[in-house]
Amino acid sequence: MKTFGSRFGLLAVLLFWCGWIAFSGTSSATLDYQKQAKAAGVDAKNCQYCHVAALPKKDSHEPNERGKWLIAEKEKRHATAIDGAWLKDYPGDKK
Domain ranges of the chain: 26-94
Helix residue ranges, H only, the chain: 4-23, 31-39, 65-76
Helix (H, G, I), strand (E, B) or coil at 52: coil
pLDDT, tens digit, 9 for 90 and up, residues 53-91: 877 777 778 889 999 999 999 999 999 998 999 999 998
Q: Does residue 37 contact residue 83 with C-beta atoms inside 8 Å?
A: no
Read off the DSSP letter of residue 44.
-
The model's confidence at residue 29, banded by pLDDT at 50, 70 and 90, is low
